[in-house]
Amino acid sequence: MKKNRYLLCLLVCGFFLYFAVPRLNIFGEGLEGIFAISWLAFALIVIAGNLTSLLYSPKKSVPSTSIQVQERKRSRAINR
């Protein structure tokens, strides 16, 4: 379920970049250039974070029910 969210965030970020890049003036003077460069830098950070989460998320293994029962018994014994 989380992978769908990361993929959706990547698509939304790509959509924003598709519309913003032609309108941003990187070589503009003053605040215009600073805003364009900082906006693109934050967009790249968002893309990198979502790609990292999407590609390197740990795989969850489903333990068998007998192992879960044994772990519950152990935890109950330790807590007493």
Residue 17 has pLDDT above 90, yes or no: yes
Residue 23 has pLDDT above 90, yes or no: yes
Instruction: Categorize the per-residue pLDDT at 2 as very low, low, confident or very high, splitting at 50, 70 and 90.
Output: confident
- The pLDDT tens digits for 33-80 are 999 999 999 999 999 999 999 888 777 665 556 666 677 667 766 666
Which tokens hold the place of 23?
């309108």
Q: Where are the domains of the chain?
A: 2-79
pLDDT at residue number 24: 92
pTM (2 decimals)? 0.67
